[in-house]
Amino acid sequence: MDETKENRFMKYLRRERLPNIFCAGCGIGIVMNTFFNGMEMAEVPLEEVVMASGIGCSSRIPGYVKCDSLHTTHGRPISFATGLKLANPEMNVVVFTGDGDAAAIGGNHLIHSARRNIDITVICINNSIYGMTGGQISPTSPQGSYATTAPYGALENPFDLSRLVTAAGASYVARWTTAHPLQLSKAIKKGLNNKGFSFIEVISQCHTYFGRKNRMGSPIDMLKWMKEESVVKRKADKMDESELEGKIIVGEFHNKPAPELSQINCKLLEDKCTAGKSSAFRSAYQGD
Amino acid sequence: MITLDKNLCKGCNICTEFCHQHVYEESLTLDKKGVYVPNPKNVERCTKCQICSLMCPDQAIEVEEDDED
Ligand code: SF4
Ligand code: SF4
């Protein structure tokens, strides 16, 4: 195929591995596109990006991208990303994770990295269910929603991830859905440019499990539902709880620059190192 | 000019639904892979907003910026 007639993001992708593994109409492919779009808007070259992911459908993304990446263990991508950032603070470290990976098994890593405000960008694709393993309830499944492990509906309260991460100390937090690709691209751009912990939550359609179990129809039906049920944060702040039932609050939750861990760490090393130049950082890249 | 890669398309019709200009038309025939690949039939209506190429989960669409016509 003529290269000029390929999709504009194809140059970032490992062509030989496509078509991707995701179900037809899955939101994860849309998140991939919006990431590249946001990256171009932020003027970050792909060569300066390193990706880390855990386990789950969303964690398959880095495998398709032509950049350095780590496909790690379940729930731990943020820990690996922390190591990457501290070893080479010049890299743009991006984590792709899902609601199961980031909020259940990796929940502690998530809140502590937010607390440290380390400069990594976490893109959490929240489809409210475990897709890869057959449709089990996740910590973000809405109360009353059905899943293979909740035949009578989920009994527990779900996490509001964006609010959780804001409270934990992240400096940039936004939530959008796959039905808002332009706003989402812009949030990713801001997240990449923010020097600190950036958390971008993307509500996404898993029609294969969440959609089927909850009779929500096709990916198109789910995208329309997300669009219709979304309320921007500014408006939602003025509404009361009963009005917001079942709504998806989207927009910027937090945007306030704060001191960042890898810089603080670098500075400490420079200040305390008496042997001339500090050698703990970037040694692998300097050949010393 | 719109190019749709038939080898990548999975027939979800997100492009058909979300193009505000109704450029794409749902297909009624299966291709050899068992996919209903939409047809960008009304290309002349395209405003090059790039929503379809941004929303196609399979990177199957390219909307060329400069047209010859
Ligand atoms: S959005 Fe992409 S994969 Fe879906 S029908 Fe259109 S071209 Fe095919
Ligand atoms: S670029 Fe915009 S107008 Fe043109 S086909 Fe795509 S969605 Fe429709």
User: Please, what are the domains in chain B?
Assistant: 2-63 (3.30.70.20)
| Residue B67 clears pLDDT 90, i.e. is over it | no
Local confidence band at A273 (pLDDT 50, 70, 90 cut-offs)? confident
| Residue A85 clears pLDDT 50, i.e. is over it | yes
Local confidence band at B25 (pLDDT 50, 70, 90 cut-offs)? very high
A110-134 average pLDDT score: 96
A260-284 average pLDDT score: 75
Strand (E) or helix (H) holding B15: helix B14-18
pLDDT at A34: 98
A156-172 average pLDDT score: 97
pLDDT at A287: 52
Q: How far apart are CA A233 and CA A250, in angstroms?
A: 6
CA distance B17 to chain A (A): 7
| Residue A237 clears pLDDT 70, i.e. is over it | yes
Return the structure tokens found at A238.
């003025």
For A173, list phi and psi in degrees, rounded to 5.
-140, 130
Q: Which ligand lies nearest the alpha carbon of B13?
A: 1
The answer to whether A149 and A138 have CB atoms below 8 angstroms apart is no
A129-149 average pLDDT score: 94
The answer to whether B17 and B52 have CB atoms below 8 angstroms apart is no
B7, B13, B53: residue with CB nearest A7? B53
B36-63 average pLDDT score: 96
State in Å: Cα A179 to ligand 1 middle.
Answer: 15
pLDDT at A285: 52
pLDDT at B68: 53
pLDDT at A281: 54
Alpha-helical (H) ranges within chain A are 28-41, 77-87, 99, 107-116, 161-168, 181-193, 212-213, 219-229, 233-236, 261-272, 283-286
Q: Is B48 in the pocket of ligand 2 (CB under 6 A)?
A: yes
A83-94 average pLDDT score: 95
Q: Which domains does chain A have, with CATH numbers?
A: 3-260 (3.40.50.970)
A124-137 average pLDDT score: 94
Local confidence band at A277 (pLDDT 50, 70, 90 cut-offs)? low
pLDDT at A288: 47
B8-35 average pLDDT score: 95
CA distance A41 to chain B (A): 14
Return the structure tokens found at A143.
């109360």
CB pairs under 8 A between A and B: 82
pLDDT at A275: 65
Q: How far apart are CA A20 and CA A26, in angstroms?
A: 10
What type of residue is B17?
E
pLDDT at A274: 72
Local confidence band at B42 (pLDDT 50, 70, 90 cut-offs)? very high
Q: How far apart are CA A116 and CA A274, in angstroms?
A: 27
Ordered DSSP codes for A119-166: SEEEEEEE-SEETTTTSEE-TTSPTT--BTTBTT---SPPP-HHHHHH
Q: Is B3 in the pocket of ligand 2 (CB under 6 A)?
A: no
DSSP structure class, residue B41:
T
Instruction: Between A286 and B19, name the one with better pLDDT.
Output: B19
Q: Which has the minimum average pLDDT: A56-65, A176-185, B18-27, B58-67?
A: B58-67
